[in-house]
Amino acid sequence: FNNGIGIEVLEENNYYPFGLKHEGYNILTGNPAYKYRYNGKELQQETGQYDYGARFYMPDIGRWGVADPLAEQYRRWSPFNYAMNNPIMFIDPDGRGTESTHTDKFGNVVKVIEDGDLGVYRHNGNTQETKQELNQKYSKDNTSGGGERMGRTLVWNSFTEFDGSGKEAGKINFGSFQARDWLNNFSDAISKDTEANGGFVARMNYAWNGGGGDKYDYKTQNGDGLYAGSQIAEGVYASARDVGNFAAGRAAAITGQDKMNFMLNAGGFNISGNSKMGLIFNNSHWKSEAQKAGFPAYGEHFNSNLFQRLGYENVTTAQGIIKKSKIIWGDKK
């Protein structure tokens, strides 16, 4: 802090790797009202836990207070582990899962590995050669497996099959900002529609034009399908599926739709089997079903709901997730 005379240190905090604060030599205690500390997370003074959004973290024992919502995908680990028990190498932005993504030289996704690393790595060979290289070089201490780090994903399964099998899928167009550029154009179009016709009409226009093959359906408009990958921000790769859900959140925010109302509609739409007519003519029923499904996804797929939340808050980076986690997950009781 610059006090007008010089730089003044207001607070000093030193931490053990898992987040417990050192005691005995942190001389400058700072403002006790400031609670954002380890990893930039808010410390809950009453419990001594950090609020990561999806879960609360206990730095004294290096564990989460509740089970991992993706525990079924991480059966070799305790559902309460933090950052694969390696907080020096990895950081967990919000208490969910992490895996590294590997492609061949053409960008074809070859392997998605459960290892705590959200990095995206491009290898120099074709698909078969990349698999061989991973078999030879990959280890828990060498998660690149011989590949070049091209960026990262925001979630572990951006480039896996939607059926939950974890099977790798898609092709990443390295260096491309197609996702970011499309979202910018999409946001401009929704904003203009809102200015011209009002939020409700613009929202209905999006709803009717956001289905398969429609002009607001990025999954078909991008030209490479559901798992086509490009950058949503500098060095951050997302699949077309992620971008479509992000766009839904942006449309809701731009048109002034209440966030909870939006998520209940999205969850109800998924529960209804994606029936537009059902959601329109039996809206209260499907929203009620979504309410019963409850936090965090309200009947929507978890990752779909996450990207809808990110779109609503216009968050495209891991740093943004950390900084805005309390807003992103503000409906948590």
Predicted local distance difference test score (pLDDT) of residue 129:
97
pLDDT at 271: 94
Residue 53 contacts by C-beta under 8 Å, 6 or more apart in sequence?
Answer: 94, 95, 321, 325, 326, 328, 329, 332
Dist. CA 199–CA 299, nearest whole Å: 25
How many CB atoms lie under 10 A from the CB of residue 23?
Answer: 7
The tokens 């007008």 sit on which residue?
4
Q: State the 10-residue block means of pLDDT for the chain, 333 residues long.
A: 65 78 66 73 85 81 76 65 68 64 97 87 96 92 92 90 84 97 97 98 92 85 87 96 96 98 95 84 92 94 94 94 88 79
Tokens representing 44 are 């809950």
How long is the chain? Answer: 333
Task: Give the global pTM.
Answer: 0.74
Q: What is the pLDDT of residue 73?
A: 54
Nearest CA among 231, 75, 95 for reference residue 156: 95
Neighbours of 241 (CB within 10 A): 24
Residues 182-241 have pLDDT tens digits of: 999 999 999 999 999 999 999 999 988 987 788 899 988 887 888 999 999 999 999 999
Contact by Cβ (8 Å): 84, 76: no
Residue whose entry in the numeric block shows the structure tokens 């480039």: 159
